[in-house]
Amino acid sequence: MSILNGLEQLGLGKLENVNVYESEEEKKAEAEKKEEKKEFAEESVLLDKSMKCPVCDQDFKTKTVRSGRSKMTSQDTDLRPKYQPLDVLKYDAVVCPFCGYAALNRFFKFVMPAQQKMIQDNISANFTGIDTTAAFYTYDEAITRHQLALANTIVKKAKASEKAYTCLKLAWLCRGKAESLDQSAADYASQKEELQKEENELLANAYDGFVNAYSNEDFPMCGMDELTVTYLLAELARRTGKLEEASRYVSKVLTSRQASERIKERARDVKDLINEAKA
């Protein structure tokens, strides 16, 4: 007999057989249900950062992630960081909405007078503007902004390392977009294949640029020391099918007396992947 037997006469018969205490399974199921209902609002962790364009001298705002509102959860073998609750990488390209000058955050302020003229003649003269009303950037919007940054590196004849790093960031965005695709969509397979092709082409360009920079530029490079770039070259070479080059670079890391155990461990993982690809 239920301890709530008799409530039926009050119109509450459905409650007669409920448990007084929830089981742990019921609590967990309820918590998961509530979590599913929560929709993360990306704009809630963003802020508008004030910037001054070094090309046209105009003031504007760009979106950036609030400090402490994202957490890196893991890292791919080519050093792509993965964050929660949003992909922070989408917000790395800064675009001036007035003249079209764009660059990754770390490079944005540094423009020589000759480069300024090149950008004005080849970008600004034809720039028709970019949407500044979005509350947050979709992957497509982020990719467009990074493409504009890459176009600027070409026009201003930037260092090979800046071009390479911009290509790498674009490749990571393509990968992020592919991971976010709706797998139930009719065109899922074709979209994923196209994004994979784009990523591979960008990784190949990143590799070529870093090889050039490795021989001709000083370290640190794009915030990375020589051993980190060497490791990155090994992994980019592996991902683009250049297995002999990959082996050569990974050996440099593994035989270096200056390399930390952490980067050597990463290099061992890449070496295993190279050997699997050769088998």
Tens of pLDDT along the chain (279 residues)? 567 677 777 767 676 676 766 666 766 766 665 554 457 899 999 999 999 999 999 999 999 999 999 999 999 999 999 999 999 999 999 999 999 999 999 999 999 999 999 999 999 999 999 999 999 999 999 999 999 999 999 999 999 999 999 999 999 999 999 999 999 999 999 999 999 999 999 999 999 999 999 999 999 999 999 999 999 999 999 999 999 999 999 999 999 999 999 999 999 999 999 999 998
Cis-peptide into 85, omega within 30 deg: yes
pTM: 0.86
Please give the span between the terminal C-alpha atoms of the chain, in angstroms, as a whole number.
69
